[in-house]
Amino acid sequence: MRLLNTVEVDKSKKTVRIGGGAIIKEIVEEVYQNQMHVVSGGCNCVGTGFMLGGGLGRLMGEYGLAIDNLLSVDLVTADGNTITATANNGDLWWALRGAGHNFGIVTSYIVKGHSWINSGTHWSGNLVFTGDQVEAVTKAIDKLVFQKPMSIHYYFAVDPSSQQPVIIVNPFYAGKVDDARKAFKSILELKFVADTTGPIAWDELNASGDFFCAKGSRKPAYSVGLKKLDPKAFKNIWDAYAQFLNKNGVDKVGRSAVLVECYSYITARAIERTSTAYPHRDVNFQAVILGWYDDKALDGEAEKLGKYVREQWFSTSGFHRDHTYVNFARGDEPLETIYGESWRVRKLTTLKKKWDPRGRFSQYFPIPSTY
């Protein structure tokens, strides 16, 4: 599959055909060279699964989710046939956009391309804070109105220089520096200890997160979709994270991190929420804690931290039911938490029975054929 990594840009039609084995880095580089944008993820090594689960990314405020930009999918089905799925395929098309991992092997797909914003140069970088600022930072992000060009990656991580945990806010603005600084004024007024923000080319933006692409090790993740950010809960999470590092050693667990992806949902929410299998358009923040270590003996400590953090998020999410994005999920969540309301799960199980009755495509958060 990895060899199916072609990226073909049609500038006249403003479309991009992407091979099923292409990764985000290859997509962004080719599209950027053609002076265009597509909705893509924030991790260079992610592939087609990014889109099949919904597709969150920094430009979704402008263009919607990746699935909202999907035009067709070339698919090998469970019976070995090849089909091209489009909006004419009704229920299958619905299922592929949000639960697509369950219905076939994608050999290629076509998405909408969009003209460059500000000649492909945007504004981003890191604002670094000490731990005593966690509640102030959380409150400021929660109150921020995310306009279309805006997003934030908010995380707790170990600073490589000091080997101490720090708070990092990574804002992004699709446009000019002056407009960006106005949009993020409330964040820039906080008491940070370092500021690396400035102009950056679109094709360079993901490079700062390439360390997440390292293969191997043990990386248990626990995730929750949030309507709001609770400052006290984040203080509790910061304290638990710092204690985990201190108890088990930064040299052993220091790659572990807490991440919250904060996007504008203006365009995504203009799409009828029942029109795709993706169920989480009402989520404002996607939160995930990632344990990262090599020693299997640390599994218990990582599980304890992960479940504690997840419960902190669930209990303060602002929702009456739990939400978890399939691409970030642990795997122990109920089907409704990942795939949405009961009617959605029933519809997906009916389609699973039709398109994959033997469960051949059941490796990643499988949908059963009965419910």
Q: Where are the domains of the chain?
A: 7-115, 121-328
What pLDDT shows up at residue 364?
87
Report whether pLDDT(21) > 90: yes
> Which residues, in sequence order, are CB contacts of 177 under 8 Å at separation 6+?
123, 198, 199
What pLDDT shows up at residue 167?
99
Q: For the chain, how far is it from start to end, CA to CA, in angstroms?
A: 32
What pLDDT shows up at residue 216?
93
CA distances from 176 to 172, 183, 187 (A): 11, 11, 17
Report whether pLDDT(370) > 90: no
Phi then psi dihedrals of residue 334, to 5 deg: -60, 155
Report whether pLDDT(371) > 90: no
- Using one digit for the tens of pLDDT, what is the confidence trace for 83-103? 999 999 999 999 999 999 999
The average confidence (pLDDT) of the chain is 97
Measured distance CA(293)–CA(219) in Å, rounded: 7
Mean pLDDT, residues 223-247 taken together? 99
Q: Which two tokens stand for residue 152?
A: 């934030």
Listed residue (189, 186, 260) closest to 222, CA to CA: 260
Share of the chain above pLDDT 90, in %: 97
CB 18 within 8 A of CB 110: yes
Share of the chain above pLDDT 70, in %: 100
What pLDDT shows up at residue 224?
98
Q: Where residue 252 falls among pLDDT bands split at 50, 70, 90?
A: very high
> Which residues, in sequence order, are CB contacts of 155 under 8 Å at separation 6+?
167, 168, 170, 257, 258, 259, 260
Q: Which two tokens stand for residue 180?
A: 């960006």
Kindly give the interhelix angle for 299-315 and 231-248, rounded to the nearest 10 degrees.
170
CA angle at 275 for the pair 280 and 288, rounded to the nearest 5°: 15
Q: How far is CA 19 from the centre of its chain?
A: 20
Report whether pLDDT(369) > 90: no
Report whether pLDDT(269) > 90: yes
- Using one digit for the tens of pLDDT, what is the confidence trace for 34-45? 999 999 999 999
Q: Where residue 29 falls among pLDDT bands split at 50, 70, 90?
A: very high
What pLDDT shows up at residue 136?
99
Alpha-carbon torsion (246, 251, 253, 254), positive or negative: positive
CB 53 within 8 A of CB 280: no
- Using one digit for the tens of pLDDT, what is the confidence trace for 312-346? 999 999 999 999 999 999 999 999 999 999 999 99
Q: For residue 161, how many other CB atoms are within 10 A of its CB?
A: 7
Q: Where residue 13 falls among pLDDT bands split at 50, 70, 90?
A: very high
Q: Where residue 177 falls among pLDDT bands split at 50, 70, 90?
A: very high
Domain 121-328 sits in CATH 3.40.462.20: yes
CB 101 within 8 A of CB 326: yes
CB 336 within 8 A of CB 251: no
7-115 and 121-328 have identical folds: no
Report whether pLDDT(363) > 90: no
Report whether pLDDT(142) > 90: yes
What pLDDT shows up at residue 119?
97
CATH of domain 7-115: 3.30.465.10
Phi then psi dihedrals of residue 153, to 5 deg: -105, 115
Q: Is 118 helix (H, G, I), strand (E, B) or coil?
A: helix
Residue with tokens 């400035």: 198
